[in-house]
Structure 1
């Protein structure tokens, strides 16, 4: 990748991760992810957010510093908006190559820095609204806790209107030669739309209330450019990604899309046998349905679809008096990420005793779900179960449509 000028004295430095690793050791990134750092140069120079020692990212950063004629040793400040290792993992290697650099972070960020990296050096702790004068360039820091860690802040350059937002307003997806929103095609915009949703659902969803608070807090700033640590830089219309994140956050409170996500686990095909009938019932009301199978489909994609869907269909057989374990695992993630306020239908077969429904109710009682009558049956589904499956699918679709 090459460095990119954003404004006078402000540059993006980027590295793409394309080695097949999982993001956070959990989420697949088949199209990679970018790690964006930024330089702000006045009389003094600040590097905003770092990279992990991951897939040659440090060398990419060093090469791009050379492109803009900045020596690593000349950097005076490194601003750490967020201490997660994808933004800080190379900090020890970075400090070994620099002289007298001052780390800038929030009060909680300082504690994490010292705990995570045993750092004993100088830290400039900045409170909400504090400024750092670089000489001809000023940076202002705003705390946005729990987006998505408690120490998180953003950095704002008032003169240019550039908001360095770190994980906020980010997306999966490696960057090509085009890094700005006004450079990429409509097809690529659709890609980043989908990948920003999956990124949000995977990484940020459980903190949607703080996201809304943060957006409301930042509304008073004259933001002209959104420069996140992952994904494209929004310079033509930053309101698109801001409002997209607001919409994603509101999905948690029930303002979701009028569509249904179906998650099906089936041991011997007995539970899966009624899926077609349910789908026909849903589609008879004109409601889109997205179908996933567990354990075959990754939770990352299931979570993304479920997060934006108003309705859920959960199908699984009874397994030793409990839910089918792969489906139970999905519901544990739904609980962790606050997949709340959904219209839900649950179905499944059993072979010698039930128990999955009781387990389902226990696991989902705090999710604020509105569940219609479940459908369970012994052995193979008969005509009666197939008819009931169609009617319950239709009933759920009507509830989604009217919600």
Structure 2
């Protein structure tokens, strides 16, 4: 696999990570993920972002560096937009192989180089407005974009070519193979990557949506011809597509963009009694012709639940009482909703109980800070009666009507 030239003197190198089960040790990546880095050449050479030695990533990098006419040993500058180890862990070995390369990052980034990786020298702090002149008319500019998604994050901009090196912003799950640019993929493939970018955002970035919005505002002054993230597709034909997509995603939990008029149903059932009640709710939703997705927990990994729930205006939370409290897999989902700031939803909670209730109380305490509009919940003991089922269907219709408004 060769390096891919973005503009004259600017190359993308990437590693396809296919064998790893999870990203960040949490999120499943059945379709893999890419680690993207970039070479920028003037009279001197800069490497923008790095990688960890993960599933053959460094060997993939070295082969592509060679096709770009350089090597780790020839790098003059290492620019670190973000210090999370998937973009930096090889730095210790790189410093051994190339002690002359100067490392540039924000002040908080340099602190992490010193304290996390124990590298004390050959470092330069940069801030918004600072630049690096590589010679031959190639100047890189730096823009601090904190909390996308760590506090030290920045972006690097090549004004000569209009390329924005955005690190985790505008990223996605999914490997790329020998194609890396947006104009090399079919509409069907783009639909896949769109879903994987939503899942990536909901899993990793959604806690920081307010900062995403601030960064997008800051970048409006730039003439961005290519968006070059550290995971996923490089956008050279339609960079506005991924920028608009992230603006929409950021709006889902900050109120700056409406959620989709659909319902995400999340359910768990111990012996089938909650499931039977849920079927009545679904009948009510279907009667109002509102689209929905459905996930059973714990069978469906939380990563996929988050993606559909994040974009949906409506939620159905169906779970039984378990030992006086919420069904534990659902408690985990709600914990993630809190961490990721899933606010402003329209929600219905239902569930059965055995010898005593309790889930309703814990659920209402948990969602109190979410600013959800709640349809009155329905609980029942054991087998749902005909009256229970009729009420559940009506509650489903009520939720669907709220979502349509």
TM-score (norm 1): 0.99
Distance across 2 between alignment mates of 1:349 and 1:296: 19
Residue in 2 that maps onto 1:222 = 223
Which secondary structure state, in structure 1, belongs to the residue aligned with residue 222 of structure 2? Answer: coil
Task: Find 1:346's aligned residue among 344, 349, 363.
Answer: 349
Deviation of 1:242 (Å): 0.1
Question: What whole-Å deviation, never above 9, does each CA across 1:36-61 have from its counterpart, x for those lacking one?
Answer: 00000000000000011111111111
Residue in 1 that maps onto 2:265 = 262
Deviation of 1:114 (Å): 1.4
Question: What whole-Å deviation, never above 9, does each CA across 1:190-231 have from its counterpart, x for those lacking one?
Answer: 011100000000000010000000001101100000000000
| Residues 1:376 and 2:379 aligned together | yes
Q: Which runs of 4+ in 1 moved over 4 A?
A: none
Residue in 2 that maps onto 1:318 = 321
Residue in 1 that maps onto 2:400 = 397
User: Which sits farther off after the overlay, 283-292 or 4-13?
Assistant: 283-292
| Residues 1:89 and 2:92 aligned together | no
Query: 1:2, 1:14 within 8 Å by CA — same for their partners in 2?
Result: no
Residue in 2 that maps onto 1:24 = 24
Q: Which runs of 5+ in 2 are unaligned?
A: none
Deviation of 1:112 (Å): 1.3
Question: What whole-Å deviation, never above 9, does each CA across 1:243-268 have from its counterpart, x for those lacking one?
Answer: 00000000003410000001101111
Deviation of 1:145 (Å): 0.4
Residue in 1 that maps onto 2:190 = 189
Instruction: Summarize the alignment of residues 64-83 of structure 1 with structure 2, pairs less than 5 Å apart.
Output: 64-83=64-83
Query: 2:168, 2:230 within 8 Å by CA — same for their partners in 1?
Result: yes
Residue in 1 that maps onto 2:203 = 202
Distance across 2 between alignment mates of 1:189 and 1:379: 46
Distance across 2 between alignment mates of 1:189 and 1:153: 27
Residue in 2 that maps onto 1:165 = 166
Deviation of 1:28 (Å): 0.4
Distance across 2 between alignment mates of 1:374 and 1:71: 62
Query: 1:50, 1:90 within 8 Å by CA — same for their partners in 2?
Result: yes
Residue in 1 that maps onto 2:339 = 336
Q: Which runs of 5+ in 1 are unaligned?
A: none
Distance across 2 between alignment mates of 1:120 and 1:20: 32
Instruction: Summarize the alignment of residues 22-171 of structure 1 with structure 2, pairs less than 5 Å apart.
Output: 22-136=22-136, 137-171=138-172
Which secondary structure state, in structure 1, belongs to the residue aligned with residue 135 of structure 2? Answer: coil
Query: 1:343, 1:371 within 8 Å by CA — same for their partners in 2?
Result: yes
Question: What whole-Å deviation, never above 9, does each CA across 1:43-87 have from its counterpart, x for those lacking one?
Answer: 000000001111111111111111122132221000000000000
Distance across 2 between alignment mates of 1:128 and 1:68: 29
Tell me: CA distance 1:69–1:253, structure 2 relative to 1, closer, same or farther (3 Å): closer
Which secondary structure state, in structure 2, belongs to the residue aligned with residue 199 of structure 1? Answer: helix
Which secondary structure state, in structure 2, belongs to the residue aligned with residue 61 of structure 1? Answer: helix
Which secondary structure state, in structure 1, belongs to the residue aligned with residue 182 of structure 2? Answer: coil
Query: 1:142, 1:154 within 8 Å by CA — same for their partners in 2?
Result: yes
Which secondary structure state, in structure 1, belongs to the residue aligned with residue 235 of structure 2? Answer: coil
Residue in 2 that maps onto 1:288 = 291
User: Which sits farther off after the overlay, 297-306 or 112-121?
Assistant: 112-121
Aligned residue pair count? 402
Task: Find 2:308's aligned residue among 305, 310, 326.
Answer: 305
Query: 1:42, 1:134 within 8 Å by CA — same for their partners in 2?
Result: yes
Distance across 1 between alignment mates of 2:254 and 2:358: 30
TM-score (norm 2): 0.98
